[in-house]
Structure formats: structure tokens, C-alpha cells
Amino acid sequence: MEEFFLQLTNGLAVGGIYALIALGYTMVYGVLKLINFAHGDLFAMGAYLGFTLLVSLGLAGTLGKVAAVLLVIALVMGMVALVGYLLERVAYRPLRNSSRLSAVVSALGASIFFQNALMLVYGARYQVYPGDLRPEGFFNVMGVEIPTVRLILFGASVLLMLALYWLINKTRIGMAIRAVAIDQRAARLMGIDVNRIIALVFLIGPALGGVAGVMVGLYYGQIRYDMSLLYGLKAFIAAILGGIGNIPGAMIGGVLLGVIEALGAAYISVAWKDAIAFLVLILILIFRPTGLLGERVADKL
Amino acid sequence: MSRKPFKRSYRAAGLILALLVFLLLPRFLSPAWLGVTNDVGLYAVLALSLNIILGNCGLFHMGHAAFYAVGAYTAAILNTMYGIPILWLMPVAGLLSAIFALIVARPIIHLRGDYLLVVTIGIVEIVRIALVNDVFGLTGGSNGIFGISRPVLFGFRISRPQHFHYLIWGYVAISAFLFHLLDNSRFGRALKYIKQDEVAAEGNGINTTHYKQAAFVLGAFWAGMTGTIFAAKMTIISPESFSFWESVLLFAIVILGGSGNIFGVLLGAFLIIGLPEAFRDFADARMLIFGAAMMVMMIFRPKGILPPRMRHYNVQSLLGRFPQIINRHISGDTENRQPQSAGDAS
């Protein structure tokens, strides 16, 4: 039972991270009907930018650990959001009116570009996050010692998701985003600046992905340039699991996938951990292509 | 009419030139450079087999390394365990790849473009993980399989790069010719129709699911056969050779070279596999440049460097070739006409 709780909390922590990344996929898909393959790389970029800022600025000494991490997260959010915005301008906007598959290839190209740019800048080796920033305590829940860092990570991702949920559902901007997702032309006729909304989505999604990157760095302590691939694919699987284009779906799908993976690794086989997520993807696409709560993704004539 | 003989002689000259280059290249290139051109040849065949699925049929398939891996491992296992000569295993490896494709493609074939792409990435990753985990105790885990024997052709043992040059580029030539025939066949035209407009194809009586599946099986068969030659050339294979990036390289060759055009795909193989070898210093940055090239190409030249030429059919000469159609039109015979003319005019 103790093992189960440990794995469950591990799954929740990782699932929260998946959910944050998945939100970026699902929001972009919502407004553009495009899978932003470069999103995983924006996440990795967040992890690396966080690493650079934490190491080079040495904020932990002057501000205290918590304030330093929060400040770095805020900076990373801003920087990755900017990169996301530029990506949309350079790689996706010129293709807005061409075939969807051209945009997909362009997205793949952007992904390859970012991944290799990270490799060239930081090298192919693992980079190690400053170790003393990770909270080391344990939380006692019903006699089970659970690492505090997992609760903090899960709590932080839930907090961010609630903030996003509020933004999407309770504000005028959120209403505009939803309107663009439903029907771009009608939204334009209602006086919504569609380009601005799409740019906004490319600011919000990557910002969340960037935070997730810093979280992974803090949780696992090491990052590598090719982490974008696995995390990106898994977050994408999470988005499909929840129903792509559906924001609550991405949150649920992410957490669910994290838990499935953690439990699968614990009770089935660690070596096949990465295959489990792909198996989930294939099963979902075969048996319930709409995802748990979403739009249909398969063409059936 | 006057341009036709010119075009024909042009083509003949090109073929003779290609033949001369093929025969004489080992005289002028060092073994190291022949190693590079051999790699280009292998990737060219793989890309041609992917081209059936991605270029002709328009299915976004990014898991081609999985089929290649199944073929290579089949050949390697049968060769090292039972000592069957490696070249005899080509059809066996191809067949196993094809069966694998048949099984995995069936449930996913109806997915929309970008979803298919992600699922095929999932398949290539699952295959790689299975190979690393030494599935069935046959694949040798992450070390792979070693001690694969060299191919023997008519009693001649092929081991040096110059020998492999003839084997590989001969294979490239045969493959390219067969794929060219396929391009213009009824099957190839059906695939192109599906790429252009799936609904219209279905409406014209093309069983799209069946043809898409057939494209997968055929591409996998050829990739599996190519895997055999790869195994024979390397004598060691390991899961690293069949990673996701291998699939990305093949995908990039087809898309950037010109999907659906055999010459485009060959050119793509030269540019993407050969060029980085020529500029060793920038080999590290080659994927960076591909990525940027993919973005730029999609904006300015979305169909690749050499886009496929549209086939033009001269209606008059077509009718001349099938006099029965004209006769039937003249006589106003409407019975029995449909099955015949559907075949002729498509």
C-alpha cells in the first residue's frame, strides 16, 4: 500500500507537468487546428533557460530559495512566451491559408530546429540543476512518507491550471479565445482581432510549457536537450487522451497519463515505461478517438 | 510531335551517363567516400519505399524505421542462428516486415494526417523499446546482434565498399525502376487519387482503406528487404540504428526532395545524407539546418525541390488506343459499358 501511494503521488507530480504541457498543445489545436510539434521543444527551452538563470544569476543567495525559484519561473515564462510568439509569426502565420499538412511539416521543422539549437548551445550532455533548491522534506499522510516536492509540484500545476481555467471561462479575453476556437470567421465578424488572439494563445501555451520545464529540472535534477521529444509526445498523448482542443480534457488527460505511467512502471515493468504511454495512445485512437471529453480526430467515411 | 524524339534521346543520354557513373565510380572515389555513397544508396531505397506511403498516397507516416528494423532483425536473427545466406533472407525479411505492417496499419489507417504521424512515431518507439528490452530473448538487447555474415553473390563474397557499391546501387536502380512502373500503374494512380482527394477517390470506386493498407504493406516490404542489406553491410545491428531520428531523416528526404517524385527522392537522399559528409565541420549543425529548411520550404516551395510532374493525358491519343470506347459511343451501346470504361479511363 505504501508503494502504491508513493507511486500515485509520483504519478500526480509528473501528471501535473504533462497536463501543463498538454494545455499548450490543446489550446493551439483549439484555435488553429494545428499540432504544434515544436511545443515540446519550447518546454525543453524553458528547462534550459531556468537552468541558466538559476546558475548564472545566483539569486538563491540574495533572495532566498523560494523567491529565487519564483522569480526565475516568472522570467522563464516571459522568455518562452516570447519565443512561442516569434515561432507563430515566422513558421505558422505564413502558412495559415495553405494546406494543413504543410503547417505540420513546418511545425516538425521548427521542432528539429529548436532541439538542435539547444544541443549546439548547451551540448549533448546532461546538465545538472542546482541541487539545494529542491525541497527535501517528507509529508506524512496516513502513515506514508511522501516527498514534499511532489505535493508542491502537483499543487503548483493545479494552481496554474485553475488560473488558466479562470482566464478562459471568466474573462473577456477568454471568451474571445473560445469564440476563435469555435469559428474564426464568425469571431472576426464580431469584431475580435483573430491574429491577436492566436498570438495570445502562442504566448500562454509556451509560458505554461516553460514552467513545466523548470519543474522537471527541479524534480529530476537533470535535463537533456532531447527530453523535448519524450515529454512532448507524452503531453500530446495526454491532450488526445483528454480530447484535443478541450482545456479541462488536457488537464485530466495529463494527470491520468502520469498516474497510469507511474503505476504501470511500478506494477508491470520499468523497462517498458515509455511504451505504456504509446500503447495508451494507440488504444485511445482505436477505441475512443474523441478522447475522454473531446472532438473527433479520425476521419471515417 | 517534333519534341518527342529529342526527349527520348535526352533520356537515353541520361541513362548512359548514369550507367557510366555507376560502373566507374569505384575507380575515382576512395573507399571512405564509397562508404558515403553506399549510405546514400541505402537511404535512397528506404526513402523510395517511404515515398509510396508518404509521397504517393499522402499518408503522414513517420515510423518507417520500425519496418526497416523488423527486416534487419529478421535477417540478422535467421542468419546468425541458422546460418542461412543473408541475401536469400531478403524476401523473408521483406515478408515479415509486410506482415508487421499489415497488423499495425489496419487499426490506424483511418486516422487523419497529423494523428497518423503521432501514432507512427509511437510505433517506432515501441519497436525500439522492444528491441532494447530483448523481446522474446532474440534481439540481443541494447547491444544488438553481431557476427552477421557477408553477402555472397554467385560465389563471390561481398565485403569491401567497392563491392557493396555495385550491390547497393544495383539494388537502387532496380528499386527505382520498379517504383517507376508502379507510379504509372493502376495501383499508383489510385494512390495519387487518394492523396489528391480522398472523398472523390472513394466516390469513384477506389477502396481507399484497402489501397492505403496496400501502400503500407508494400513500403514495409521494401524497407524490410533493405534492412537485410543494411545488416549485411554493417555485420552488427543495434536498436540505435532504428531510432525515431532515422524516421525523421527519411521523412525529411521525401518531403524536401519532392514527395511523389522518384528523382526528387533520390536528390533528397544525396542532399540530406551526402552533403553533411562533404562538409564535415557542419555535420553537427545539419539537423538544425534541416529544421530551418523544412520551415522555409513549406513557405516557399511546399512540394519539395523537385515536385512531381502532373501526368497529362492526351484524350485523342487515348481514345485512339482504345477504339472500343469510340465504337461504343458511336453505336450508343450502354449495356456492359460501365465496368470496361471505368478501367480504361481512370
Task: State how far residue A139 is from chain B, nearest Cα, in angstroms.
Answer: 35
Q: For position A46, what pLDDT does the model report?
A: 94
| A70 interfacial to chain B (CB closer than 8 Å) | no
Query: Residue B168 corresponds to which amino acid?
Result: I
Per-residue pLDDT of A132-149, as tens digits, reads 777 777 777 777 777 888
The closest CB to that of B60, out of A101, A116, A285, belongs to A101
Whether the per-residue pLDDT at B254 is higher than 50: the answer is: yes
Which residue is listed with cell 477502396? B207
Q: For position A300, what pLDDT does the model report?
A: 40
What is the phi/psi pair of residue B157, to 5°? -90, 120
Per-residue pLDDT of B261-276, as tens digits, reads 888 899 988 888 887 7
Which residue is listed with cell 504511454? A277
Q: What is the overall mean pLDDT for chain B?
A: 82
Which has more confidence, A171 or A247?
A171
Q: How confident is the model at residue A60 (pLDDT cuts 50, 70, 90)?
A: low
Whether the per-residue pLDDT at B142 is higher than 60: the answer is: yes
Rounded (5°) CA angle B225-B125-B248: 70
Cβ contacts (< 8 Å) between B287 and chain A: which residues? 112, 115-116
Cβ contacts (< 8 Å) between A99 and chain B: which residues? 302
Cβ contacts (< 8 Å) between A101 and chain B: which residues? 58, 60, 113-114
Please compute the mean of the pLDDT values over residues A255-281 and round it to a whole number: 87
CB-based contact A84:A202 (threshold 8 Å):
yes
CB-based contact A217:A51 (threshold 8 Å):
yes
Give alpha helix (H) positions in A123-147.
none
| A114 interfacial to chain B (CB closer than 8 Å) | yes
CB-based contact B267:B316 (threshold 8 Å):
no
The answer to whether A301 contacts B208, with C-beta atoms less than 8 Å apart, is yes
Which has more confidence, B284 or A234?
A234
Q: Which of the residues B248, B251, B298, B301 would you substitute to probe the A interface, choosing the one with the greatest number of A C-beta atoms within 10 Å?
A: B298
User: Does residue A277 fall inside a structural domain?
Assistant: yes
Domain residue extents for chain B: 34-312, 314-346
Closest to B188 (Cα-Cα) out of B213, B222, B205, B211: B211
Close Cβ partners of B262 (under 8 Å, ≥ 6 residues apart) = B48, B51, B176, B179, B180, B183
Per-residue pLDDT of A202-231, as tens digits, reads 999 999 999 999 999 988 888 988 888 889
Which has more confidence, B155 or A256?
A256
- Could you give the number of structural domains in chain A? 1
The closest CB to that of B122, out of A95, A282, A300, belongs to A282
| B121 interfacial to chain A (CB closer than 8 Å) | yes
CB pairs under 8 A between A and B: 126
Q: In percent, how much of chain B has pLDDT > 90?
A: 20
The closest CB to that of B291, out of A104, A116, A286, belongs to A116
**Gap between the Cα atoms of A42 and B111, Å rounded:** 27
Closest to A198 (Cα-Cα) out of A14, A34, A38: A34
Q: For position B338, what pLDDT does the model report?
A: 47
CB-based contact A42:A83 (threshold 8 Å):
yes
**Gap between the Cα atoms of B141 and B239, Å rounded:** 8
Give me the CATH number covering residue A9: 1.10.3470
Q: For position A281, what pLDDT does the model report?
A: 85
Whether the per-residue pLDDT at B340 is higher than 50: the answer is: no
Q: For position A299, what pLDDT does the model report?
A: 46
Q: How confident is the model at residue A283 (pLDDT cuts 50, 70, 90)?
A: confident
The answer to whether A275 contacts B293, with C-beta atoms less than 8 Å apart, is no
Ranked by mean pLDDT, the top range of A216-220, A290-294, B139-143, B157-161 is A216-220
Please compute the mean of the pLDDT values over residues B20-37 and round it to a whole number: 79
Whether the per-residue pLDDT at B172 is higher than 80: the answer is: yes
Whether the per-residue pLDDT at A158 is higher than 60: the answer is: yes
Q: How confident is the model at residue B6 (pLDDT cuts 50, 70, 90)?
A: low
Whether the per-residue pLDDT at B30 is higher than 70: the answer is: yes
Q: How confident is the model at residue A129 (pLDDT cuts 50, 70, 90)?
A: confident
Cβ contacts (< 8 Å) between B285 and chain A: which residues? 116, 120
Q: For position B280, what pLDDT does the model report?
A: 67
Whether the per-residue pLDDT at A49 is higher than 50: the answer is: yes
Q: Which of the residues B104, B114, B128, B249 would you substitute to probe the A interface, choosing the one with the greatest number of A C-beta atoms within 10 Å?
A: B114
Closest to B50 (Cα-Cα) out of B275, B242, B215: B215
Q: Which residues pair with A140 in a beta bridge?
A: A145
| B287 interfacial to chain A (CB closer than 8 Å) | yes
Closest to B104 (Cα-Cα) out of B91, B121, B82, B92: B121
| A301 interfacial to chain B (CB closer than 8 Å) | yes
Closest to B65 (Cα-Cα) out of B174, B268, B224: B224
Q: Which residues pair with B146 in a beta bridge?
A: B236
User: Does residue A65 fall inside a structural domain?
Assistant: yes
Predicted-complex ipTM score: 0.79
The answer to whether A98 contacts B125, with C-beta atoms less than 8 Å apart, is no
Q: For position A212, what pLDDT does the model report?
A: 93
Which has more confidence, A50 or B144?
A50
Please compute the mean of the pLDDT values over residues B179-198 and round it to a whole number: 88
User: Does residue A242 fall inside a structural domain?
Assistant: yes
Q: For position B328, what pLDDT does the model report?
A: 60
Task: State how far residue A187 is from chain B, nearest Cα, in angstroms.
Answer: 26
- Three-state DSSP at B59 gives coil
Q: Does an H or E element contain B218, and which?
A: helix B208-234
> Cell digits for A109?
521543422
Please compute the mean of the pLDDT values over residues B289-314 and round it to a whole number: 80
Cβ contacts (< 8 Å) between B132 and chain A: which residues? 271
- Long-range contact list for B240-244, CB < 8 A, 24+ apart? B240/B142, B240/B144, B241/B69, B241/B72, B241/B144, B242/B65, B242/B66, B242/B68, B242/B69, B242/B72, B242/B124, B242/B127, B242/B128, B242/B131, B243/B65, B243/B124, B243/B128, B244/A229, B244/B62, B244/B65, B244/B121, B244/B124, B244/B125, B244/B128
Q: Does an H or E element contain B146, and which?
A: strand B145-146
The closest CB to that of A285, out of B111, B125, B208, belongs to B111
The domain of A119 spans 2-129+144-287
Cβ contacts (< 8 Å) between B116 and chain A: which residues? none
Q: For position B1, what pLDDT does the model report?
A: 45
Closest to A187 (Cα-Cα) out of A171, A176, A201: A176
Per-residue pLDDT of B317-332, as tens digits, reads 666 666 665 566 555 5
Q: How confident is the model at residue A128 (pLDDT cuts 50, 70, 90)?
A: confident
Please compute the mean of the pLDDT values over residues B142-160 and round it to a whole number: 78
User: Does residue A297 fall inside a structural domain?
Assistant: no
In this structure, of A14-28, A49-63, A154-168, B120-134, the range with the lowest mean pLDDT score is A49-63
Q: For position B345, what pLDDT does the model report?
A: 42
Which has more confidence, A289 or A107?
A107
Q: What is the overall mean pLDDT for chain A?
A: 86
The answer to whether B126 contacts A275, with C-beta atoms less than 8 Å apart, is yes
Which has more confidence, A284 or B92?
B92
Exposure string (b/e) for B230-250, b if CB count within 10 Å is 16 or more? bbbbebebbbebbebbbbbbb
In this structure, of A64-78, A212-226, B127-141, B278-292, the range with the lowest mean pLDDT score is B278-292
Task: State how far residue B294 is from chain A, nearest Cα, in angstroms.
Answer: 5
The answer to whether A281 contacts B287, with C-beta atoms less than 8 Å apart, is no
Whether the per-residue pLDDT at B205 is higher than 80: the answer is: yes
CB-based contact A158:A264 (threshold 8 Å):
no
The answer to whether A120 contacts B284, with C-beta atoms less than 8 Å apart, is yes
Task: State how far residue B245 is from chain A, nearest Cα, in angstroms.
Answer: 10
Q: For position B5, what pLDDT does the model report?
A: 58
Q: For position B342, what pLDDT does the model report?
A: 42
Which has more confidence, B205 or A79?
A79
**Gap between the Cα atoms of A146 and A167, Å rounded:** 32
